[in-house]
Amino acid sequence: MADDDQKKYISEKKRDELKEELDHLKNTRRQEIAEEIERTKALGDLSENAEYQQARADQASLEGRISEIEELLREAEIVEKTGSDEVQVGSTVSIRKKHSSKEQEYEIVGEEEADMSAGKIAHTSPVASALLGHEKEETVEIETPNGTTEYTIESVT
């Protein structure tokens, strides 16, 4: 059985976005690329036809993305907010560095949704890994490039 670091997690919103992307790739892009391949075949010698070669490369890339999405949808665990006080994948957590009044807020997500600029950190990141399983008002030690730092969990939603 896979441990938590190997599990794939996605939100319901991300699942819906992936299904929409998959539908577009299968029903629109696939047809567009097939038409491009047929169009470029008519241009002559396929071994020296750069447009044909590019269309085939686009097709391979498309099929790879389709497979990737299908696998993710098949294997990923859908994360739902539970309302628990315990930090879990799907939780939004506010933390405060020891001796500081400034809070930082992160949403703990699966790797596929991680986006530091949006405050979404992967459950496998050092910060999220240190927070998982802890509750509001607990103090945790987080390994940072500058050493170990203590943070207090201010809220979990």
pLDDT tens per residue across span 138-150:
999 998 888 899 9
The whole-number pLDDT of residue 21 equals 98
pLDDT over 80 (residue 2): no
Structure letter (DSSP) for residue 48: G
How far apart CA 56 and CA 109 sit, in angstroms, is: 35
pLDDT over 90 (residue 43): no
How far apart CA 53 and CA 46 sit, in angstroms, is: 8
CA 24 to chain centre: 19
In terms of Cα–Cα distance, which of 121, 110, 115, 125 is closest to 78? Answer: 110
Among residues of the chain, what percentage have pLDDT more than 90?
A: 79
CATH number assigned to the domain covering 9-78: 1.10.287.180
Topology given in CATH for the domain delimited by 81-156 = Chitinase A; domain 3 (3.10.50)
pLDDT over 60 (residue 1): no
pLDDT tens per residue across span 59-91:
999 999 999 999 999 999 998 877 788 999 999
Cβ partners under 8 Å of residue 142, min gap 6: 126, 127, 130, 131, 148, 149, 150, 151
Query: Across residues 15-42, what is the average pLDDT?
Result: 96
Q: Are 33 and 59 in contact (CB under 8 A)?
A: yes
Write down the pTM of the prediction. Answer: 0.74
Name the phi and psi angles at 82, rounded to 5: -105, -15
**In the chain, domain spans:** 9-78, 81-156
